[in-house]
Chain A
Amino acid sequence: MPSTFMGISVAGSALQAQQTAMSVVGHNVANANNPNFHRQEAVFGARSAWPYLGANGSRVGQLGQGIDVTTVRRYQDQFVQNRLTDSRSALGQWQTGKGMLDRVVGVLNEPSDQALNNDLNQFWNAWQQLSLSPQNVPARNNLLEYAGNLAGSFNRLSTQMETMGRQGEQDLSGRVETINTLASRIAEVNGQIQQTLSSGAAPNDLLDTRDALLSNLAQLTDVTVRGSGGAEDIVSIGGHALVQGIHAEAVEVGKNASGQTAIIWKGDGSEATISGGEVGGLLDLTRNVLPSYRAGLDQVAGALISTVNGLHQSGYGMDHSTGRAFFTGSAAADIAVNPQLKGNPAAVAASSNGSAGDAGIALAIANAKTQSALNGATLGQAYASLVARIGSDAASATNRLETQTQVHQQLTTQQQSVSGVSLDEEMTKMIQFQQSYAASARVMNVMDEMIGTLVDRLGVGGR
């Protein structure tokens, strides 16, 4: 025989369960716009049934004893979550790449009438103009002016690219600090997750915090997470563990074996293999991309210097000087008009034989414009193809960023489809639980009346 008050306790368990479920709904609604939140659900389980004995002592069935919230479930798809982490790394890498390359393209400012290509054309034209009246001092001064502009443009481009590289390296150390902070935070949260688990509770919100930290980490570097999404997962960079349980490693900016800027593990001093994320992007830009652009610029400047100097040294100035270099320096960073010529326009060697009216050298230098100087291309063409290379790198970074943004959007949609909060759904549940609560209360009420019948109406003895 069940206890007289069993009905009340059954209804009581229902009231409690619906109320708990309603709290979970409230938590979901509260976090509907929290991007790191995974929706939760109160999972109901019937209490273990009680065997019901018939009048003759035979078992006739089981009596349910009500309901409990057995656990609060957290909705997540680990597969999508991992792909989202990878996608975040690629996103960080291309955001950095696009930002830097856009700046390089902006500095080049081609095609326009205010950039190096135009300075180069004006330089050649100034030699042509000098060839028309080789003794003309204003024409010589004009040439020196344009040559100075051209050298200045080379210097400026080279310096600006160098500065960008240095800024990139500075950015690296800031981001590496953030990696270390995130790693130790993850280890800390792992500890809290372990404690919660050992007390038998579901650490749902701590797991959200952990996923958010991981996502921020992935923005900075490519990470691999192995495990089932719990506190014991190994978070590693390039095969080297960064966080394992409550233990976190740290990295720092240093130099690798070949002397390049690299990210080094503080623990064993080995180089961290980072190819993605903002740090991966910055490493590629500062180590490979920017130096290759500067080398391309140096090639053009070097060929210009040797071509012009070779011709100029064979000519004669109005002051009969000969053998003088027109440009000093050997690369884009240090090309300059020979100081011996500055303020001394008569020393510009326009003449091929020493007679003042001859313009053989001026014409020869002017014609170097159309002669191949670098791998079969003229200097102008070589520079234009360098600009095209940089432009197409920037364009492809933009494309890849756009593609990656779309991929990320799709993955986020998939993730949200599983883990996101739908207010309509929560409202529906809210009505469901509200009505169940009301009904359970009604059951308790009736049960109370039934017991009341027994107590109050059966007689007046004992009153």
Chain B
Amino acid sequence: MRVTNQMLASQMTANVTGSASRMYRLQNQVASGKKITQASDDPLGASQSMNLRSSVSSVEQYQRNTADAKARLATVDASLNNLTRALQESKRLALAGSTGTVDDTQRKAYAEQLDQQIAYVIQEANTSYKDGKLFSGGATGASPIGGNPSLGTPYTYQGDDKVAQVQVNDTTTLEVGVTAKQLLNFDGATDPAVPDTLTVLTNLRDALKANDTGKTQAAMKQLESGLQNVILQRGKMGARGQQVELYASRLDDTKLALNAQVSNIEDVDLAEAMVQLQTEQNAYQASLLATARMSQSSLADYLK
């Protein structure tokens, strides 16, 4: 083949620039640690990475959700603990007041202390959380307990049945909470045979005041049922807390795995890239050397 000066020049230029551009790409990869910086680098990988990033984003949100659920359940647990104590105290007061050895004055004192426990129970049932009431279901704007027997209106539950829900993964939504209706057996929610616990407590107080042993005994039995119900609900919430904990730790694992996949797709294998870069550098130097040698010689050098 006939070789001309322009052929030599353009071939040498093509070789040197080709090698330089490959080196540039590898240098970029090594420096940034990424082999996909834009969709055209690896279209399939880019779309996989986008979908994985969406999943990571969801998992991070579910982690925030579980953290929120844990905080909510901790508040619920504290309230239920106080509620249990108030009911236990009420039971103790009723027991003490119903023995034959106490006189009228003492019994009245017990009845007054019982009044205080009723106030505690109402206070706990009306606990606030964030922007609303914790135990009124979805109707968080309203206090769950309404009515005032001393004014002639019986206690009522003013909330609804919608318990707060928290999503912990793509397919699972957990109810994290309980309504005052369930806690205090309004409308016979947990035991239709027994009136709501606040009414039971009021009846107990009135029976104590009136020294009506029969009614006191009956109310104490009902109170025991109410107490067991609160303990049961607290146990349920505790179990729910463990469930949330379990989902949270699964989310941690999932996030690690997803991030590893994203890294697998987007990140460059540094060792491999370094070796390629070294090889390309050698090729680049060789083509520079060849270019320098070739462009030096010409027949004109040897003519007199």
Tell me the A residues contacting B by CB distance below 8 Å.
32-33, 35, 39, 101-102, 105-106, 108-111, 113, 117-118, 120-122, 124-125, 128-129, 131-133, 135-136, 351, 353, 355-360, 363, 366-367, 369-370, 380-381, 383-385, 387-392, 394-395, 398, 409, 412-413, 416-418, 420-425, 427-428, 431
Of the listed stretches B57-65, B94-102, B219-227, chain A binds B57-65
Residue in A124, A128, A369 whose CB lies within 8 Å of B65: A128
| B150 CB–A CB distance under 8 Å | no
A432 to chain B, nearest CB (A): 12
Offer 10 A-B interface pairs, CB within 8 angstroms, sorted by A: A105-B38, A125-B58, A133-B131, A357-B132, A357-B164, A366-B167, A388-B43, A390-B40, A412-B7, A423-B300
**Residue in B closest to A397 when the chains form the complex, CB atoms:** B40
Q: What is the chain A residue whose CB lies nearest that of B4?
A: A420
Any chain A CB within 8 A of the CB of B50? Answer: yes
B268 at the interface (CB under 8 A from A): no
- Tell me the bound Cα distance from A436 to B212 in angstroms: 149
Q: How far is the CA of A440 from the CA of B48 in the complex (A)?
A: 80
Check A421/B6 contact, CB under 8 A, given A117-B53, A133-B131, A370-B170: yes
Nearest residue (CB) in A for B10 is A412
| A413 engages B11 (CB within 8 Å) | yes
Known contacts A363-B173, A391-B39, A392-B43; 10 further A-B pairs (Cβ under 8 A):
A109-B38, A111-B49, A135-B131, A135-B140, A136-B130, A355-B160, A357-B132, A394-B40, A413-B10, A423-B298
Report the minimal beta-carbon distance from A10 to chain B, rounded to whole angstroms: 29
Q: Which residues from chain A contact B48 at a C-beta distance below 8 Å?
A: 384
Cβ B36 vs Cβ A111 within 8 A: yes
B38 adjacent to A106 (CB under 8 Å): yes
At the interface, yes or no: B139 with Cβ under 8 Å from chain A?
Answer: yes
| Cβ-defined partner of B40 (8 Å) among A39, A357, A363, A398 | A398
CB distance from A296 to the nearest CB of B (A): 13
Instruction: Say yes or no: A420-B5 contact (C-beta < 8 A), given A111-B50, A353-B162, A390-B39.
Output: yes
Q: How far apart sit A120 and B51, CA to CA, in the bound complex (Å)?
A: 11
Which one of A102, A121, A387, A412 lies within 8 Å of B58 (CB-CB)? A121
- Whole-angstrom CA separation of A351 from B160 in the bound complex: 13
Chain B residues whose C-beta falls within 8 Å of the C-beta of A113 in the assembled complex: 53
B167 and A357 contact, CB distance less than 8 A: no
Is B68's beta carbon under 8 Å from chain A?
Answer: yes
Q: Is the CB of B39 within 8 A of A421?
A: no
